[in-house]
Chain A
Amino acid sequence: MTSLEFHLPALQVAVPLLLAPVVVLLRPRGLAWAAATVTSLMAFAIAVAMTQGILDGEVYRYAMGGWEAPYGIGLRVDRFSALVLLLVTGASSLGLLAGKQSIDRSIETQRQPLFYAAWLLVVAGLAGILVSADAFNIFVFMEISSLASYVVVAGGTDRRALPAVFKYLIMGTIGATFYLIGVGLIYMMTGTLNLADMAMRIHEVSEQRPILVAAGFITVGLALKAAVFPLHVWLPNAYTYAPHAVSAFLAACATKVSLYVLLRFDFVVFQPNLLGHDFQFAAFLMPLAVLAILVGSTVAMFESNIKRLLGYSSVAQIGYIMLGASLVSLTGLSASLLHIFNHALAKGTLFLAVMALAMRFGQLDLASLGGAARRMPWTMSAFVVGALSLIGVPGTAGFISKWYLVTAAFAEGPLGYFLIAVIVVGSLMAVVYSWRIVEATWFAPEVQANPVTAETTIGEAPMAMLAVVWLAALTNIYFGLFTALPRALAEGAAGALIAGVP
């Protein structure tokens, strides 16, 4: 391992964290954007490099400042973290690459450097969560990413974002506090914050009840941040009123990172040590997952704002992720991790397409988008690819994770058949709500929308934006056909997570 390679886990966080303040100082128009984009692409390159290394058998462990755990801050990157790191840095890069014009329109020029700095802090925070090996640093980075994401969500000119972000802030803070209470309880009982140490020491603890309470606090706290039904109420509005580029970035990866912590904590720390906790975990989350799929999809079927519709669809898709995990089996967990990856591809594409759509249409209500696709066929074709992936049509990434999920459920016997029925019904509901958008944009008669610009004829989105939207759409197809990379990461990660479960 070269020395640069050795430092990659630290650089993953340090690059965006240290460049964020620099970006604030870049006043000339466009420079802040360029710097933020380059930084984000660098972070993506680091994630790719580490993924490559992990697949070649490297293990990334890092002690900040040379102070070894348990005294120093330990960093650790494995397949699971690499999988989510790719999403975070990739979604951020695509959001920035495509989003310049959209951000120019929704954020005043003089505030843009601050906005881009906050964006980089979100990246740094999320990446920090993913590389941290100890529970308290996870909390710290969680706070960094949350505070910064409140800023970027509320950063636009849409005043309705303010109440939405206030709700997001309150719920997020409650979630983080719950998490911290849980971590505190465990620290009190075990004297360590390192996840791996905790896993080893808990079963030496004489009194298990505080640990059980900690498990409750941590699960609920993280479920809040991950928008697991019924703790999802902050999500749809936050996505709807955020600047479009931010929606694309956060919808693809923000909740996934909280799910990462939830799954990692539960499978590494609690399930190996608490008797019967795997059952508690399944019994608690499975009903919620089923409800999330059914309720989220139902609401999406009747929602009329595209972004909110997609937000409720995310609630349902988080349900699929939890459903796979709640099976507590290798295939189930692989399905869950694959769906984290594949849903990010689909939802990222959809929100990017919506951003392109919003360049030409001020209102994102279905009623005011009549015939939009006939004016913007390329944008909406990319949207259709994303929608097919969301539904889970073969040939797209979405199919792969649904297939794993169905296979995992199939192995569970009668309960599994019920779950398969839920998955099928959920997918058909996805067909319905996707079709509503297709119907409105392709087939409905044209309405005289208020063009955002003064242009009288509404045409395609800007070329650069369109190229990125299509790049995202094509990843859905690529990873629907050539599945080796996500499968290797997800199956390897699932195997490592489930190894400790009795």
Chain B
Amino acid sequence: MSPDSLILAALIVPLAGAVLIGLAGRFSPNLREAVTLVTAGLLIFVVWSLLPTVYDGGRPSAQLAEVLPGIDIAFRVEPLGMMFAALASGLWLVNSIYSIGYMRGNQEKKQTRFYVLFAVSLAATMGIAFSANLFTLFLFYEALTLSTYPLVSHKGDAATVKSARVYLGILISASIGLLLPAIIWTYSVAGTGDFRMGGILEGVIEGPAVGLLLGLFVFGAAKAAVMPVHRWLPAAMVAPTPVSALLHAVAVVKAGVFTITKVIVYIFGVDFLFSEPSSSWLFYAACFTIIAASVVALRQQNLKRLLAYSTIAQLSYVVMAAAILKPLAEVGAAIHMLAHAFGKITLFFAAGAIYTASKKTELAQLRGIGRRMPITMTAFTIGALSMIGVPPTGGFVSKWYILAGAFQADNYIALATIIASTALNAAYFLPIVYVVWFEKDATPPGKEHGEAPFAAVLALALTAALTIAFFVYSAPAYELESQLVRAAS
């Protein structure tokens, strides 16, 4: 298949998979899960076949429809989107393996609906990653919100519905009230919304309007969870853990920071934004979110909520790195999306495995659990170290590039923020690591349990291994992402 048709295949495969999963669900769970795994594998094949082309500087593209003159539904694969799509498709397979263990282990209801919507969300994610212009991006961005909503409200009880309402309310109102006006504004002044190297807004907009437009984009893309539009993410933790792991640590939240990074690099243009003082607020907003979210995480008693606040902080790392507006920092932003994904999905997998094996959700219940679930907690430890940024984990690599970018810009506030947040991350993760390994077992007598089901353990071992592997071997990602800024710098 030609690279151009591979793009469309990346959209069709998960959608067709969704239909087949729905049909297979009528016959047998085993068949359904097999279809999910085959679809995920096929999607990896399709998406990763694009990698060599993009790596060599090719930019496959495809056009689906011209909605209005100048407004197309079109796709164009560039390094950032390539990485995002490769990441999401790759982790979908691992996550599907995990889901089988988790959903069966917890005897969840409506499992067919769960797998169908998961596939649809992945199709939307592929659309976001490959979109060639703001209009297309917006369509798939909204599709992702709508298709993940039933996953968040999966349980269906009163508390879940309340949280799902926060989820939908914030994401939809921000995107329609802020992101859409920003997109229409862009189209009307620039005449286009195409993502172009060096940006499209230089010379057509200036002064405080730049800062305002940037604000509409940043807070409109509420999936990036920059404070104060972050509250949907802790609310989304009511979802089954595989949803939190893939969607609310990787696909959905990365769609947010991906949008912001793409807008900075391809709509405004890094150099233009750097020369415009009214845009500097974004950097401070991101720094504030990093510190504030870490402080809030420090006070959490529930493991998944703690991870959610940690995610909010880590997402703003990406936003902050992008807002430093220097080449190495942009690369750092892209790499951090990758590194954080491996670490955070491992942490969520571990949290879900703990819940499946023992129904424990609170930090206080985790004393000594390391001895019962050694593999899970080893993976958890690796994930936690990656969040802090300790070698030999992936988190170290991306922090390295962000720091290098900060030095490029002589930006010492970024430096201070990173140091402070590293300390805070250590302060909320290390006590957990200590407690699970070195304190006395808190499990009440008669509630014996071991590891979670095999599928879940396999998945989290895989992602933990990836976290370490990324430390050892991240050169291709760096090479790919440095194309983001090579022409611009």
Residues of A within 8 A of B (CB): 374, 377, 384, 391, 393-395, 400, 403, 406, 410, 424, 428, 431, 435, 439, 442-443, 445, 480-483, 487
Contact = CB atoms under 8 A, between A and B. Distances in A.
Interface string B145-174: 010001000001010011011000100010
A431 B67 contact: no
B180 interface: yes
Nearest to B135: A394
B212 interface: no
Interface string B70-112: 0101000000000000000000000000000000000000000
B158 A393 contact: no
A445 B158 contact: yes
17 contacts: A374-B156, A377-B150, A393-B142, A394-B138, A394-B180, A403-B68, A403-B71, A403-B184, A406-B184, A431-B176, A443-B161, A480-B67, A481-B65, A481-B73, A482-B65, A482-B67, A483-B67
Contact of B67 (A374, A377, A481): A481
Interface string B119-136: 000000000000000010
Contacts of A384: 146
B177 A428 contact: yes
Interface of B: 64-65, 67-68, 71, 73, 135, 138-139, 142-143, 146, 150, 156, 158, 161-162, 164-165, 169, 173, 176-177, 180-181, 183-184, 188
A399 to B, nearest CB: 8
A490 to B, nearest CB: 12
B180 A393 contact: yes
Contacts of B67: 400, 480-483
Contacts of A391: 176
B156 A424 contact: no
A374 B73 CA distance: 33
B142 A395 contact: yes
Given A374-B156, A400-B68, A435-B169, 16 more contacts: A374-B161, A377-B150, A393-B176, A394-B180, A395-B138, A400-B67, A403-B68, A431-B173, A435-B173, A442-B165, A443-B164, A443-B165, A480-B67, A481-B65, A481-B73, A482-B67
Contacts of A481: 64-65, 67, 73
A394 B181 contact: no
A480 B71 CA distance: 12
> Is the contact region of chain B dominated by helix, strand, or loop, or is it mixed?
helix
Contacts of B169: 435
Nearest to B139: A395
Contacts of B143: 395
B41 to A, nearest CB: 30
Q: Which of A384, A439, A483 has the most CB of B within 10 A?
A: A483
A403 B162 CA distance: 34
Nearest to B184: A406
A443 B162 CA distance: 7
Q: Which of A395, A400, A487 has the most CB of B within 10 A?
A: A395
A424 B173 contact: no
Sorted nearest first, the 7 A-B pairs with minimum C-beta distance are A443-B165, A395-B139, A481-B65, A394-B138, A482-B65, A483-B67, A443-B161
A329 to B, nearest CB: 16
B161 A424 contact: no
Nearest to A385: B146
B117 to A, nearest CB: 12
B464 to A, nearest CB: 37
Nearest to A388: B142
Q: Which of B67, B150, B177 has the most CB of A within 10 A?
A: B67
Contacts of B156: 374
Nearest to A406: B184
Nearest to B169: A435
> Is the contact region of chain A dominated by helix, strand, or loop, or is it mixed?
helix
A410 B65 contact: no
A394 B158 CA distance: 32
Contacts of B64: 481
A410 B188 CA distance: 9
Contact of B181 (A393, A403, A424, A443): A424
Contacts of B73: 481
Contacts of A487: 68
B64 to A, nearest CB: 8
Nearest to A487: B68
A406 B184 CA distance: 10
A428 B165 CA distance: 19
A394 B161 contact: no
A182 B146 CA distance: 51
Contacts of B177: 428, 431
A431 B143 CA distance: 17
A414 B188 CA distance: 16
Contacts of B150: 377
A480 B165 CA distance: 27
Nearest to A404: B68
Nearest to A445: B158
Nearest to B150: A377
B65 A394 contact: no
Nearest to B158: A445
Q: Which of B139, B142, B158, B177 has the most CB of A within 10 A?
A: B139
A480 B73 CA distance: 11
A410 B187 CA distance: 13
Nearest to B187: A403
Contacts of B139: 394-395
Contacts of A480: 67
Contacts of A435: 169, 173
A480 B169 CA distance: 23
Nearest to A371: B161
A258 to B, nearest CB: 28
Contacts of B181: 424
A480 B138 CA distance: 13
Contacts of A439: 165
B291 to A, nearest CB: 33
Contacts of A377: 150
A406 B187 CA distance: 12
B146 to A, nearest CB: 8
Contacts of B176: 391, 393, 431
A395 B141 CA distance: 11
Contacts of B180: 393-394
Contacts of B173: 431, 435
A410 B184 CA distance: 12
Nearest to A444: B161
A77 B144 CA distance: 43
A400 B69 CA distance: 11
Nearest to A481: B65
Contacts of B138: 394-395
B72 to A, nearest CB: 10
Contacts of B68: 400, 403, 483, 487
A487 B162 CA distance: 42
A395 B65 CA distance: 11
B142 to A, nearest CB: 7
A290 to B, nearest CB: 20
Contacts of B188: 406, 410
Nearest to A439: B165
A481 B173 CA distance: 22
A82 to B, nearest CB: 21
A487 B146 CA distance: 28
A384 B164 CA distance: 16
A451 B189 CA distance: 53
B453 to A, nearest CB: 30
Nearest to A428: B177
Nearest to A381: B146
